[in-house]
Structure 1
Amino acid sequence: MNPLHQRIAASFDAQGLMATLGARLALVQDGEVHIEMPFSPRLSQQQGFVHAGAITSIVDSACGYAALTRSPPGCEIVSAEFKTNFMRPALGQRFVAVGKVQNAGRMLTVCTGEVRAFAGDGPDYKVVALMQATMVNVPAAA
């Protein structure tokens, strides 16, 4: 595992919410992170779709970890602001949140994200949500 992946994985593994959602890191590269989450009825809303809160959580984390790939050593990332557009019901066997850095500044990093719903193991998916996010570099806890 390369140092960049180790840095992201260590932070990801410390998040209780990602474990609760059954999410895992699927890809880590400079400026881009993918987080995969399987469907579970425990994550559904009243109509059987995956709840918007679960979808927002994985794409917020994907954007945050994408930002962390570009942050200075000794920093962590927190969300300052995000907007999520839901385009269709979150139906599928698995969901992949893709976070990408659009601009990394000294303090703020602007990211975009999308959540892809896969009906099966194949490559075909539908985008169920889009995110625009601003992340902030903060000093890591000692």
Structure 2
Amino acid sequence: MERELTAERIEFLEKDYRRGFIKFCGFQPSRIGKGLFEAALAIGENHKTQDDFIHAGVIATMSDHTAGYAAYTLVSNDIRILTIEFKINFLKPACGHALKCKSEIISHGRQIIVAQSTVFDVRDTHEKMVSKSTITLMAIDAARLENTEG
């Protein structure tokens, strides 16, 4: 199931990470390693709440999606990663000009993978940790997903 991280695989992961809803959000990969994925987001008005904080949904989505791609660094192209459980602790409000997320795999079984994501609020010249989450993921053969019906 584990695979080597070739230049082609890294290029694929960088491109794949930014598709769909994530493209709309604006997340950008910043560092990829085996069992590790980091991403960044430049904050716009569309990422904020009515009180000018960065929306918790943006932080949670970044935590979950980046953890999925940390898991994706460990599996072959014919495997898909699905979240099966997600727990997040928000430590303080985020209000900076950017977010950074670091996701690492902390347990890797044949089918169940557990990741930990930490999100940092970038404020001027420093960063503050604003959330910590644990994400449980399932590695599943892509062909099995294609054969499921509604």
TM-score, normalised relative to structure 2 = 0.86
Counterpart selection for 1:21 from 9, 25, 28: 25
Give the unaligned 5+ runs of structure 1: none
SS in 2 for 1:20: helix
Give the unaligned 5+ runs of structure 2: 1-5
Q: State the partner residue of 2:7.
A: 2
Which residues of 2 match residues 15-54 of structure 1 at below 5 A?
15-54=19-58
- Paired residues, number: 139
Separation in structure 2 between the aligned mates of residue 110 and residue 63 of structure 1, nearest angstrom:
9
CA deviation map 1:5-37 (0-9, x unaligned): 123124213x22111111111111111101111
TM-score, normalised relative to structure 1 = 0.90
SS in 2 for 1:91: coil
Q: Which entry has the higher C-alpha Rg, 1 or 2?
A: 2
Separation in structure 2 between the aligned mates of residue 30 and residue 69 of structure 1, nearest angstrom:
6
Indicate the larger mover: 58-67 or 132-141: 132-141
One-letter identity of the residue aligned with 1:7? F
Counterpart selection for 2:133 from 131, 134, 139: 131
SS in 2 for 1:103: strand
C-alpha deviation, 1:76, in angstroms: 1.4
One-letter identity of the residue aligned with 2:72? L
What's the Cα RMSD here? 1.6
SS in 1 for 2:53: coil
Which residues of 2 match residues 1-142 of structure 1 at below 5 A?
2-13=7-18, 15-120=19-124, 122=125, 124-140=126-142
